[in-house]
């Protein structure tokens, strides 16, 4: 199916998943305005949000099944396998977050049905970031996502820590957005376009790869995205925000928000700045600092939630290593690693929510001692997730790291691959103690884990995530093929259409 994105009917077809979420989100706003007082109202909003996300997945699958491809001049919206694969990942992450959140919100007394329209509109922003073939579309998607997540972070209005986390996140997010917008302005000043396809053509044909204005704009864009993905040294906000937010929101931030930022970053660099060699070296150093910094600081953490926050910083470093290669294999590795990371992360935070209360900020690693005796199934699930995040053979995390290593060595980045291996070894120092506490330490008292409960729906989500982690670790062929095809669909533009521009 060929779609001319200059034609409004074809453009609406190309934007079908986004339109589904827009309509569903507006319907949620109306529902929440009418019903927002009881647990039944909360469940109704959650059901409608889940249905909206499933319909969005169906629309995404339909575009993929019809092999939708763009024709004509470059447009502001991309229509390729990379976008569709990323969109499916975002929608799946949001749908699982909805399932994890309902029991949690009721348990914590957070009868706030507005949680669900905010989640849907945040997902819509993530989808626009994946679909944007123009810097302005990506920026608008990022702002839509960010504003919704700011509010979600502080949705527990009775928690001082949640309010502090939301305020910090808002300030740092606004700071990062300023860098991004200034970077976009300088990029436009150097190339007379914000369209990524045209920008890549300008850089290649007009030799803008050494333009000081373009390089400065690129630097500011990288700083802005460095904040968004929590790369060292732009990671300061992550531990406090992850720790203070309600656990389902933390899971959504750690999995979905990080994935959206990386998907947009890959498209910007590979399509728009493929002819600029400078960013490879910058990302090389960012990846090294983030891998080593995140893992070393995580070693000193004693609460599980802050440990996972610094762990997410380290995983941002692994993903930056794949982006730094600038190859189709690196883009494919980003998608596959994000899938493996999302599955393990959602399951870990679901299990953490079952253990703790009031935001789970006080759950320490030692509090998990003897969990295998009292709740062997939960301990096994948590152990599998920790091993996947570590990159243990037989799990999706191992295949994800292996794929990044293949991409790095294939691009001649042998030193970067070595640092990744060293950083992974360091991470064993904080993932394995969790398993040791559950299996090798006695339960402090008979009632230590007595209140730990995982509801039916969250249990189903955890089981599905664990099955996905193990299946992708043993037979990853199908997912690897999809990631490889999607990565190959993202490349340097070839359309020689140039607007008039002065040099």
Q: Which tens digit of pLDDT belongs to each residue from 36-74?
A: 777 888 889 999 999 999 999 999 999 998 888 888 777
CB-CB contact of 434 with 304 (8 Å): yes
CA distance 442 to 436: 10
What is the C-alpha to C-alpha distance for residues 372 and 389, in angstroms, rounded to an integer? 20
Q: How many CA atoms lie within 13 A of 458 on its CB side?
A: 25
User: For the segment 462-480, what is each residue's pLDDT rounded down to a tens digit?
Assistant: 999 999 999 999 998 888 8
Confidence (pLDDT) at 501: 39
**DSSP annotation of 77:** B
Condensed to tens digits (0 to 9), the pLDDT of residues 162-179 reads 889 899 899 988 989 999
* Residues with Cβ within 8 Å of residue 190, at least 6 apart in sequence: 208, 211, 213, 214, 217
| 6, 75 Cβ separation under 8 angstroms | yes
Residue-wise pLDDT for 387-404, tens only, equals 999 989 999 999 999 999
Give dist(CA 173, CA 153) in Å, integer: 13
pLDDT at residue 499 greater than cutoff 60: no
* Model pLDDT, residue 491: 59
Cα dist from 179 to 142, 173, 264, 279, whole Å:
13, 10, 16, 16
φ and ψ at residue 146, rounded to 5 degrees: -65, -45
C-beta separation of 405 from 391 below 8 A: no
Which residues make beta-bridge pairs with 2? 69
**Residue 267 banded pLDDT, cuts 50, 70, 90:** very high
Tokens coding 199: 């920008």
Q: Could you give phi then psi for residue 258, rounded to 5 degrees?
A: -65, -40
Q: Select from 187, 336, 341, 340 the least CA-distant residue to 253.
A: 341
Half-sphere exposure of 57 (CA within 13 A, CB side): 15
User: Does the N-terminal peptide bond of residue 233 adopt cis geometry, omega within 30 degrees of 0?
Assistant: yes
The winner for highest mean pLDDT among 14-28, 73-87, 353-367 is: 14-28
Dihedral angle computed from the Cα positions of residues 410, 413, 415 and 418, in that order, rounded to the nearest 10 degrees: -40
- Indicate the helix (H) or strand (E) that contains 70: strand 69-71
User: Three-state DSSP class for 341?
Assistant: helix
Phi, psi of 132 (to 5 degrees): -70, 125
């Amino acid at each position: 199916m060929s779609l001319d994105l200059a034609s409004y009917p074809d453009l609406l077809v190309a934007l079908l998943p986004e339109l589904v979420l827009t309509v569903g989100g507006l319907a949620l706003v109306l529902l929440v305005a009418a019903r927002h007082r009881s647990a039944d109202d909360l469940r109704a909003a959650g059901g409608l949000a889940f249905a909206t996300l499933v319909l969005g997945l169906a629309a995404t699958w339909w575009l993929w099944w019809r092999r939708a491809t763009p024709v004509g001049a470059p447009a502001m919206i991309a229509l390729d396998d990379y976008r569709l694969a990323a969109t499916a990942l975002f929608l799946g992450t949001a749908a699982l977050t909805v399932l994890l959140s309902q029991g949690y919100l009721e348990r914590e007394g957070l009868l706030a049905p507005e949680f669900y329209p905010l989640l849907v509109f945040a997902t819509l922003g993530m989808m626009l970031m994946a679909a944007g073939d123009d810097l302005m579309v990506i920026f608008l998607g990022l702002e839509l996502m960010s504003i919704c997540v700011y509010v979600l972070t502080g949705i527990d209005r009775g928690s001082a820590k949640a309010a502090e986390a939301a305020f910090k996140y808002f300030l740092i997010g606004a700071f990062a957005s300023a860098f991004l917008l200034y970077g976009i302005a300088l990029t436009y000043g150097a190339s007379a376009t914000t369209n990524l396809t045209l920008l890549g053509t300008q850089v290649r044909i007009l030799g803008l790869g050494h333009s000081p204005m373009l390089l400065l704009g690129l630097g500011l864009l990288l700083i802005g995205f460095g904040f968004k993905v929590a790369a060292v040294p732009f990671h300061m906000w992550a531990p406090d925000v992850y720790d203070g937010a309600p656990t389902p929101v933390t899971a959504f931030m750690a999995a979905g928000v990080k994935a959206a930022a990386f998907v947009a970053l890959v498209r910007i660099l590979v399509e728009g700045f493929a002819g600029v060699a400078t960013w490879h070296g910058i990302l090389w150093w960012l990846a090294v600092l983030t891998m080593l910094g995140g893992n070393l600081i995580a070693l000193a953490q004693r609460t599980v939630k802050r440990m996972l926050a610094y762990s997410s910083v380290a995983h941002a470093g692994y993903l930056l290593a794949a982006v730094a290669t600038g190859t189709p294999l690196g883009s494919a590795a980003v998608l596959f690693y994000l899938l493996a990371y999302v599955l393990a992360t959602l399951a870990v935070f679901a299990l953490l929510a079952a253990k703790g209360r009031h935001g789970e900020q006080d759950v320490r690693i030692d509090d998990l001692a003897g969990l295998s005796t009292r709740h062997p199934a939960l301990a096994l699930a948590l152990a599998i997730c920790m091993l996947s995040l570590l990159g243990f053979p037989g799990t999706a995390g191992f295949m994800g790291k292996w794929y990044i290593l293949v991409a790095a060595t294939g691009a001649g980045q042998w030193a970067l691959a070595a640092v990744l291996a060293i950083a992974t070894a360091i991470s064993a120092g904080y993932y394995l103690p969790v398993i040791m506490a559950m299996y090798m330490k006695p339960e402090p008292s008979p009632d230590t884990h007595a209140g730990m409960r995982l509801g039916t729906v969250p249990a189903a989500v955890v089981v599905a995530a664990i099955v996905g982690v193990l299946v992708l670790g043993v037979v990853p062929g199908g997912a690897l093929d999809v990631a490889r095809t999607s990565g190959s669909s993202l490349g340097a533009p070839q359309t020689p259409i140039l607007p008039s521009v002065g040099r």
